[in-house]
Amino acid sequence: MKYQKLKDRFLNYVKINTRSDESSKTIPSTASQRDFLLDLADELKEIGLSEVSYNPKNSYLTATLNSNIEQKVPVVGLISHVDTADFNSENINPQIIENYDGKSPIPLANSGFVLDPKDSPNLKNYAGDTLITTDGTTLLGADDKAGVSEIVCAMEYLIDHPEISHGKVRIAFGPDEEIGVGADKFDVAEFGADFAYTVDGGPLGELEWETFNAASLAIKVQGYNIHPSIAYGKMINALQVAIDFHNSLPQDEFPENTKDREGFFHLTSLEGAVDEAKMSYIIRDFERSGLEERKNLVTKIVKRLNQKYGENCVQAQMHDQYYNMAEVMKDHMEVVELAEKAMTDLGITPIISPVRGGTDGSKISLMGLPTPNLFAGGENMHGRYEYVSLQTMEQATDVLLQIIKLNAEKEDQKCP
Ligand SMILES: [Zn+2]
CA of 198 to the centre of ligand 1 (A): 9
Q: What is the pLDDT of residue 212?
A: 97
Which one of the listed residues 83, 176, 206, 285 is annotated catalytic?
83
Domain range enclosing 26 = 6-210+324-408
Which one of the listed residues 129, 150, 177, 285 is annotated catalytic?
177
CATH number of the domain at 255, please: 3.30.70.360
Q: Is 177 a catalytic residue?
A: yes
Percentage above 90 pLDDT, the chain: 98
Question: pLDDT digit string (tens) for 236-258?
Answer: 999 999 999 999 999 999 999 99
Question: pLDDT digit string (tens) for 361-402?
Answer: 999 999 999 999 999 999 999 999 999 999 999 999 999 999
CA of 207 to the centre of ligand 1 (A): 14
Looking at every residue in the chain, the average pLDDT score rounds to 97
Does residue 246 have a known ligand-binding role?
Answer: no
- Residue 165 within any structural domain of the chain: yes
- Residue 345 within any structural domain of the chain: yes
390-408 helix and 333-345 helix, angle to the nearest 10 degrees? 120
Specify whether 200 is located in the same domain as 272: no
Specify whether 75 is located in the same domain as 196: yes
pLDDT over 80 at 40, yes or no: yes
Give the CA distances from residue 118 to residues 66, 98, 102, 108, in Å, rounded to whole numbers and listed in that order. 47, 20, 12, 15
- Residue 247 within any structural domain of the chain: yes
Q: Is 83 a catalytic residue?
A: yes
CA of 15 to the centre of ligand 1 (A): 17
- What span, in angstroms and rounded, lies between the C-alpha atoms of 30 and 391? 31
The DSSP letter of residue 261 is T
Q: DSSP strand E in 167-296: where?
A: 169-174, 195-201, 206-208, 213-222, 264-272, 276-285
Q: What is the pLDDT of residue 415?
A: 52
CA of 231 to the centre of ligand 1 (A): 51
CA of 143 to the centre of ligand 1 (A): 5
Does residue 21 have a known ligand-binding role?
Answer: no
Q: What is the pLDDT of residue 1?
A: 77
Cβ-contact 64, 169 below 8 angstroms: yes
Question: pLDDT digit string (tens) for 343-356?
Answer: 999 999 999 999 99
Confidence of residue 410 (pLDDT cuts 50, 70, 90): confident
Final residue of a structural domain among 322, 347, 367: 322
Cβ-contact 167, 68 below 8 angstroms: no
Q: What is the pLDDT of residue 234?
A: 96
Question: pLDDT digit string (tens) for 50-70?
Answer: 999 999 999 999 999 999 999
